[in-house]
């Protein structure tokens, strides 16, 4: 495959197994996927080129994801954020500025459907 079929996704999670699960399934769904284990790694990946959506764990070790959510919202155009969390707090996305929340554990169908919605039909 040459170039992104559906779009480019950055998966930011400090758990390698979660990154792998997301990457493999999003690639099977036609996305180009990059990975990062920390906010610093995520920022480095974003400097290398644009992405269409960021899948972001709320807690990255001792880091909180809020600063990156704010930065992505300030981009032109803003980069959609899918927040991944163990929380079932329905108002969490709105409070932290994320575009959607995916509660752990999540299904592959929920993952791919939410990313598709956030990419906005790029595929």
**Annotated domain spans of the chain:** 8-119
The 10s digit of each residue's pLDDT in 34-73 is: 999 999 999 999 999 999 999 999 888 888 888 899 899 8
Helix (H) or strand (E) holding 50: none
Question: Half-sphere exposure of residue 113, counting CA atoms within 13 Å on the CB side?
Answer: 7
Domain range 8-119, its CATH number among 3.90.1150.10, 1.10.490.20, 3.40.50.2300, 3.40.50.1220: 3.40.50.2300
Q: pLDDT above 70 covers what percent of the chain? A: 87
pLDDT of residue 47: 94
Q: Tens digit of pLDDT for each residue in 81-108?
A: 999 887 666 566 667 778 988 888 899 9
Q: What's the mean pLDDT when you consider all of the chain?
A: 87
Residue with tokens 């769904």: 29
- DSSP alpha helix (H) spans, the chain: 16-28, 39-48, 66-73, 92-96, 108-119
pTM as predicted: 0.88
């Amino acid at each position: 495959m040459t170039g992104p079929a559906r779009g480019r996704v950055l998966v930011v999670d400090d758990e390698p197994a979660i990154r792998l699960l997301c990457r493999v399934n999003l690639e099977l769904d036609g996305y180009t996927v990059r990975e990062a284990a920390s906010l610093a790694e995520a920022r480095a990946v974003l400097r290398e080129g644009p992405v269409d959506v960021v899948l972001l764990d709320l807690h990255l070790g001792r880091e909180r994801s809020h600063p990156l959510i704010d930065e992505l919202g300030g981009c032109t155009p803003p980069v959609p954020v899918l927040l991944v969390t163990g929380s079932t707090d329905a108002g969490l996305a709105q409070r932290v500025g994320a575009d959607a929340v995916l509660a752990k554990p999540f299904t592959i169908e929920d993952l791919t459907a939410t990313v598709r919605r956030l990419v906005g039909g790029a595929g």
